[in-house]
Structures are given as C-alpha cells and as structure tokens.
Chains A and B, each alone.
Chain A
Amino acid sequence: MKRHLLSTADLSADDATLILDTAAELARIADRPIKKLPTLRGRTVVNLFYEDSTRTRISFETAAKRLSADVINFSAKGSSVSKGESLKDTALTLEAMGADAVVVRHWASGGAYRLAHAGWIRSAVVNAGDGTHEHPTQALLDAYTLRSRLGSLEGRRIGIVGDVLHSRVARSNVRLLSTLGAEVTLVAPPTLMPFAVEGWPCSYSYDLDPVLPKLDAVMMLRVQRERMDQAYFPTEREYSRRYGLHAQRMAALPQHAVVMHPGPMNRGLEISAEVADSARSTITEQVANGVSVRMAVLYLLLGGSEPAIGTENEGGAT
C-alpha cells in the first residue's frame, strides 16, 4: 500500500523531523565524488508537471537520480495534455507504464489530491505544488534551511510577507512551521490576506515595520505584477514602499535573522537586489537544500516495504 505527501497538514512533528534529519544525512553525499546511492534502483519516478517550473522539476529529478531511480519527465507543453488529454487519462497511462511515484505540479488546487485519491493510479503521489493550495516540499526545505541557520525551530518567530492569498508556499509554511513549534506572523495588505485567516495557526498584520525587529527569519513571497490589474494593490511603487524588503528594512531585523525567498524573485518589487544578494539571504542555500529534502521524501515514501511518513491511499486501486 502506497502513501502520499500531499500537504504539510499530513505531517506530524515527528514525521517532519524525520524528514529533516534524513535530509541532513543525505546532504553529505553532495560532497562525495560519487553523488549516488543505490537505494531506489529499479524504481521509476515520474515528474508530471502541468505548470512550467524548471527549478522544481530539476530539483526532483536530481533527487530521484541521486537515489538511482529512473526518472521520466512529463510536462504539459507540447504533450498530449496540451492536446486536451484529461488528467485521468494521463494518470492511467502512467499507471500502465509502472510508475512507482508521481511527482505532480498542477495549476488546479486539489490536483495532487485528485490524482492520489480518484482511484486512477496506485503510485505514491508527491505534491510539487497544486494551484494556490500547498507545496509541501518547499515548506520542508524552508524549514530545513531555517534549522540549519537557526538551530531548533521551537519558539522561533518567522514572518511571511507578500501575496499570502494566492501563495501555496505560505499555506504550507504556516502549517509546517507551527507544527514544528515556531510562531508565524503573516504580513500583507488586506486585499492579499486570506479570508478567515483568523482561524489559521498564526498571527497576522497589515503593517510590516513593527513586525521586523521581532523576527528570527523573514520569508518574502513573490508578488505577481498582474495582481495590480485586478486591483489588489494600486501600483508596484506603493506595494514596494509598504511591503518590500529593502536594505533599510533589513537593517531593522535582529542581527541573527535571515532572509528567505522561495523564488523566482521580482528584484525591486518585493525584495531589493541588495537584500537578495546579502549574506543574510538564504536564497541559494534553499535551492541546494531542496535536493536533499526531496531525496529524503522520496526515500521515506518509497525506500521500504511501507513508507515512514505520509497519508493513506484510500482511493487506490489494489
């Protein structure tokens, strides 16, 4: 019976810690001449990407290959998908090809969930980002990065700033960080704050400056320029002035605090170039850590007779 990683809500503190500890061990093979482990030899991992994302796809591909798994990349452009093939038919094809795991990025919230539970496939499903819902491996690599820079996350204060409403990274991070004992504060203009955010396991503010001096880490989210046309904020200049992290604001952070960004960045909009390139920024580490974390996830889901983490596959064909 296979299980899935669809949402950080599926991870207990123990599950998350196991993933992070495993990733820490796996990170060491990056220093070896032979960056490969035989663990998933003979397994097939399919990258099913309905949204363009070179960075995440390569990260998963590297992770799978370092575990000696075979990787098949299936991207939406120019494939049967762009000719109108349904998710269901694509899934049935992958099942017929014998995929052990499907890493799926989908533009529809719930896309990964449907793939895992509709009864079309038996493989393990890893959610690489579904619409505006969740991006669990991103949250895991963010937590890993924070842990490696700050030590234990218990009681740490993390700020997440930007277009929270449309951000799957924010949703996953809020859940995971609070599971690991951190205190999260969301900062955004009211138009970009989710409805019913009062019920989320975090606090929130519409004003960035008072929040900064208390943080151990601040995570800047990408803001799409198109949101301006939909009246979420009036101009880029106003957004940047009120919510952008420039050098002056970075100076307001405590000495030890770090700056994170899931990428890709809009330099000059939510984050200034100076901040992005500063020593406090963990942006490039986040990318490297992504491979180790994704290796850990693939190993823990596929490496044994049963996974060590994840949710049940109730809808799976047996």
Chain B
Amino acid sequence: MSALASERLSTAADAFTERRRGGGGGDTWTIRGARILGGEVRDLFIRDGVFVDEEVGGAQVVDADGLIALPGLVDLHTHLREPGREDAETVATGSRAAAAGGFTAVHAMANTDPVADTAGVVEQVWRLGREAGYCDVQPVGAVTVGIAGERLAELGAMADSAARVRVFSDDGHCVSDAALMRRALEYVKAFGGVVAQHAQEPRLTEGAQMNEGEVSSALGLRGWPAVAEEAIIARDVLLAAHTGSRLHICHLSTAGSVELVRWAKSKGYPVTAEVTPHHLLLTDDLVRGYDPVYKVNPPLRTQADVEAVRAGLADGTIDVVATDHAPHPVEAKDCEWAVAAMGMLGLETALSVVQHTMVETGLLDWAGVADRMSVRAAAIGSLDGHGRPLEPGEPANLVLLDPSASRTIEPAEMHSRSRNTPFAGLKLPGAVRATFLRGTATVLEGKVIDR
C-alpha cells in the first residue's frame, strides 16, 4: 500500500470508527461460513478495520451460511447530484443507497451545480461523503471548466486536494475537441490520473432521443446512432496510444465499441472500459411505450448490442460494471418523452442485474464478478484499500450476498431519494445481506445501519 494511500486510509478510518463506536456492536466480527468469491467456504475475522487470521473473542457473529463474500463493490460512475440537485439525491442518500447495493466506494461524477472543477468543490463532496459515513465517496474532477469543453480545469489542484482526485471526466458531455482531449490525456500523466470519456460525437446526436434504429424510425424519435459513440472511441484510443496516457471509456453500449476496445487492448493501448447494468439487460424495444423511465444517455440499444457487451464483459474487454446511477425527481420523468430527463437509478440493483445477466447465464463466475465490480474499478480509480483480496492484513471492505434470494424491484422501497428505476416490477435474483466498510457494518441483515 502506498504511503499516500495508507495516510488517507487512517484519516478516513479514524473518522468512521469515531462515529461508529458504540453502534452495530463494535469493531470485531466473525463471518461464519461464507463462500469466498463463490468458492471455498471459510470464516472471516475482522478487527480494527482489517481482516485478521484468528477469531476475536467477543466478536459479533454473522451467520453467512449460503452467502457469497465479495470484496466491497466499487462504482466508477455515480451521480450524487450534490451540490445543486439535492431534490434528486444528496451525497448522504446516494451513498446510503450505494451501501444498500453492496458498494463500499463510489466515484461521484462532476456534473454538479457548481461543477466539480475546482479543489473547493471536490473537497466539499469528499467531506460530505465522510460525514455520511456509508461508503467512501471519491469525487471525480471535471476535465474542462464548467464542463463546457473549452479550457482545461485545474486538474492538478484537484489531484493535490484532500479529495485526491485521480479520475477526471466531463461525463454528461463529450470532450469532443480532439486537441483538448489530447492535452487532458497528457496532463494527467503527471499525477497518475485517468481521463474517463463520455463518448458522444455532439454533431451526430443533436436532439437525439433514443438509439437510431428500426424502433426510432417507427416511433418518430430522433436517433442517436452507434457511430456517434464509436467514432469518438476510435479517435480516443489512438490518442491514448499516442500520448501513452490512460483512457477510460464510460458506459460503453454498442457492439462496435466493444470491438474497438478489443482491438486497442490487443495492441497494448492503455484503455479501459465500463458498461452499465441496464445496458446488460434492456433494449430499445422498451421505448415503444414512450415511458421516459427508459430514457438514458447513451440510449438503450439493440439485442445484438446487449449480447456483445455481455461477451465483452465476460472476456474482460470491458473491465468494469459501473452503474451510472442517475437520479431524477418525479416531474422530470412524468411527462412527454422529449422533455424528460435522461438517466436511470442503478446502485441498488447493479449486483442483482449482473447476477441475472452474467452469472446465471454462465458468462461470469463470482470471482469474475468480484473482478469486474470491485478489483478492476479500484485499480482504474487508483483507490487503495478497495478491491483487495479477502485475506488477513487487508482492509475489511466486504459484501455478503444471498444468491438464492429473489426480489421484485419496487421503486417506493428504494433508498435513493429518486424513483426512476427501469427495473420496476422485474423479479431479480440476489439480495445484499451485509456490507462492511473497513470493518464497520453499513448494512446488516439486509438493512442499512444508520448512525
């Protein structure tokens, strides 16, 4: 563990343990009989925020018979809306929803109001996350000032701030100017940063409402063609190679995009990619009812695209599942399609959707889920302490899930402040039984532990 990271770890840990002492039964735990990464059945022992190799006397016991133990999930792409859109979500409600979903760390995207393009705003978000205490909130810094796509934001200041930003993204908008994208990629090398691109050529998607295809043609909705995503990815993987800097592709959604990333990786280019849970399951056919709960950017695509991204996630071309959790207030979705906001909730359903689309179909085993939903995300975000093996000495960031449970998704029961889940009414497998953040239980017996 780097010096920088362990310093961060102990400051954060102090804050948490300070808050939590006395609630949830203390800092010692025995997890009895869990299937580690879906494999061997073992006990886990936790003391002072780390795994230890011996049971601690007087520890609280969690009966994990039949439960799968995974490293605490890490989301590379979440919108917590604070500051500015607290009517939809706050850092507190969003990180609470994250804990309920099995996450111990989330990266909070920068398209807040004001935009997270200065040290001041990212530190504010970081502090709000610490105070809430449900999971680590790692702010993402904007690439350009105001996400306007014109001038670089003070990336260095954000990197040096208490929030220690390493992931930079104008998500919501594409860094479409090739020269600016090149400069951003070059600049972040100085502090080991990564630029996360929202790939959407603006000129090909003006006024776009949904995927361009048979359905958009029949419905009379302006199309968002796959090429608008692929053209930017094609350009940016070449820029990543040219600059020798890390590029991460946000919410990759088309078969063509998967092929481009596969090619880039085969050439050894420093490229990583994420896919959302909704793009693993839902298609543009759902738009036929004009229900704006299915309106999202990038849009839902075709069945062929769904199968391609699943295959890409299975073979590792796509590195992580990232939720792109995008809460919206009711009035932003209870209206005509054209005026509705784009975005879907994701934190509380991600693990179930991955189980349904990847594990139950045999495309990925639980070790693979751990890799795609925790290990790699932590690596891409340079987030030490997360995505670690469940071994003595490692921080006790852990999620226990019951794979045999199933639940019908009910919007009114979500922990998020918003209700825009596209999975409403669907029966999905799996339920989070417990989440531990550095040895503190944030979820126990399926319920969030509030301080």
Contact = CB atoms under 8 A, between A and B. Distances in A.
Chain A in direct contact with chain B (Cβ < 8 angstroms)? yes
Contacts of B213: 195-196
Nearest to B338: A108
A287 B214 CA distance: 32
Contacts of A107: 338
B65 to A, nearest CB: 44
A199 B335 CA distance: 30
Given A114-B290, A195-B213, A196-B213, A134 B336 contact: no
Contacts of B219: 109-110, 133
Contacts of B336: 87, 106, 108, 110-111, 114
Nearest to A119: B334
B362 interface: no
Contacts of B212: 195
A88 B334 contact: yes
B335 A114 contact: yes
Interface string B311-330: 00000000000000000000
B331 interface: yes
Given A88-B334, A195-B212, A195-B223, A108 B339 contact: yes
B289 interface: yes
A141 to B, nearest CB: 20
A118 B334 contact: yes
B408 interface: no
Given A108-B336, A131-B220, A199 B331 contact: no
A194 interface: yes
Interface of B: 209, 212-214, 216-223, 225, 289-290, 331, 334-339
11 contacts: A86-B331, A108-B338, A109-B209, A111-B338, A113-B289, A114-B336, A131-B221, A195-B213, A195-B216, A195-B223, A195-B225
Contacts of A134: 220
A130 B290 CA distance: 12
Nearest to A50: B336
A109 B334 contact: no
Contacts of A242: none
Interface string A189-205: 00000111101100000
A86 B338 contact: no
Given A88-B335, A195-B212, A199-B214, 7 more contacts: A86-B335, A108-B339, A109-B209, A109-B290, A110-B221, A132-B222, A199-B217
Contacts of B222: 132
B337 A114 contact: yes
A168 B217 contact: no
Contacts of B338: 107-111, 131
Contacts of A4: none
Interface string A179-217: 000000000000000111101100000000000000000
Contacts of A194: 217
A113 B219 CA distance: 11
B335 A110 contact: no
Interface residues of A, number: 26
A117 B214 CA distance: 23
A194 B223 CA distance: 10
Nearest to B290: A110
Contacts of A132: 220-222
Which of B214, B217, B220, B335 has the most C-beta atoms of chain A within 10 angstroms of its own C-beta? B220
A171 interface: yes
Contact of A110 (B217, B223, B337): B337
A25 B367 CA distance: 72
A196 B337 contact: no
Nearest to A118: B334
B328 to A, nearest CB: 14
Contact of A197 (B217, B220, B225): B217
Interface in A101-128: 106-111, 113-114, 117-118
A98 B216 CA distance: 35
A171 B220 contact: yes
Which of A110, A196, A197 has the most C-beta atoms of chain B within 10 angstroms of its own C-beta? A110
A117 B339 CA distance: 17
A108 B337 CA distance: 7
Contacts of A118: 334
Contacts of A171: 218, 220
A109 B335 contact: no
Contacts of B217: 194-197, 199-200
A129 B232 CA distance: 36
Given A110-B336, A114-B290, A118-B334, A133 B220 contact: yes
A158 to B, nearest CB: 20
B107 to A, nearest CB: 33
A117 B335 CA distance: 11
Nearest to A230: B206
A311 B54 CA distance: 67
A168 B220 contact: yes
Contacts of A199: 214, 217
A133 B210 CA distance: 14
